[in-house]
Structure 1
Amino acid sequence: MIQSLEKGLAVLQAFRAHASLSLQEIARENGITLGSAQRVAHTLEQTGYLRRDPRSKRYSVTVKAVGLGYSYLYRQPLFQNAHAVLHQVNQECGEIVNLAVPDGEDNMVFVMRVAPARHIPVYLPAGTRIPCAASASGRAMWAQLPPAELDRKLRGIARIKHTPKTTTDPAALRLLIDEARRDHYAYADEEFFPGDVNVAAVIQDDHGEAIGAVNISVPKPRWTLARARQELGPLVIRAARAIGKHG
């Protein structure tokens, strides 16, 4: 383990939740000394990944950091094959279609999005993370887990109310996941964004392992949960199978 490299990567990750950070904040966010934060920030500045505002002395991430994820997004065969399918689904339903993958920390990361032109959606750039427990994509993924692993995840969920309708009770969440396992798709009703209903189905690889999820997001009151489930449930299942077949 190269500790200096580990620190540098951790500092970059700390900017996911902040537009800018001071040296003191970098140190506090990462549990390192001020001197260590200064050395890491200076190195990242000299290599072009951070810039330092000459007036406020605060650091922010530069566009060069986007390149760290470029190879993952551009070279993955899964994403290349999914692109056409997501556009086709968008044409069929006229709504926002997303592709998300798990990050290993109980979040789903949005890596691809196709939105209709008729309205401006919530800004969700590639890399946006949403908790598995509060998203249809995450629940669809959790429905594939062995019982013991699902039990562990449900015991460890952060009971945060993102909206008044967020499900935080593990027993209630288990019922939703059991339903997703039975129906082969999951749903979430205004559980992370107010006014948003989303349905999702998992993409499986050649070995039957869940590797991501197709998600369709629709707004209330134009869509009810019942209508979304009836019309979009079969659509995400079909899309997920099409992507997995050619992945």
Structure 2
Amino acid sequence: MAGHSKWSNIKHRKGAQDAKRGKLFMKLAREIFMAAKQGGGDEETNPALRIAVDKARSNNMPKDNIERAVKKATGDLEGVNYEEFTYEGYGPGGVAVMVKVLTDNKNRTAGEVRHAFSKNDGNLGENGCVAFMFNRSGYFVIDRSTTDADEEDVMLQVIEAGAEEMETTEESFEIYTEPEAFSDVKAALEEEGYSFSTSEVTMIPETYTELDEEGVEKMLKLIDMLEDNDDVQEVYHNLDADEAVLEKLS
């Protein structure tokens, strides 16, 4: 799975920017809302809700916000009705992009997403045009500074927990698992004393597209514009960018 660490660098940058914009809690609330709306308000019987709530808690979302989102979804509180859509397209240099949205106005959101692509040298495509380039996967990151365990010990515990694969970098252990096993693997590793800087079910690209500095700058502008949209929950892509370039442009 070479290249995933490059992808995670972008992901970590994105997460930090979401938090700075102060929009993260709203996006997490929508995710909880949709999970509860589709599968009910009980975390024990609704794995998607459990994952969404875990993600909210890991980002220090207040308990009242979480409960309010669940109650809105189950009809205990009045609220707007959101629909979930995924848009696909290409960014600068042919970078594959998937945009997951939750919206109460599909026409408005579609127009805004299309505008973001066209303004940043990209184009929105048909459904399925890039989805085949990604695999849905559970993904965890353990910062090596948070554990005394060596790579072999972590690997054994990861296997015992039921994960599929682990990749080691200088800074972290990156763990991949089937989406259906996400909650069980997370619980098993937490019982071993591990904490995660990232834990989510996400879309992992199979291949990556390299860009020069100018292309990376344009791509980051596209990502920023999409993430500035209140309706956008996640932006997935297969950009391969040099870490020094990312640092410079950040």
TM category (shorter chain) comes to under 0.3
Q: Which entry has the higher C-alpha Rg, 1 or 2?
A: 1
The answer to which structure, 1 or 2, has the higher relative contact order (CA under 8 A, 6+ apart) is 2
If the length of structure 2 is used for normalisation, what is the TM-score?
0.24
TM-score (norm 1): 0.25
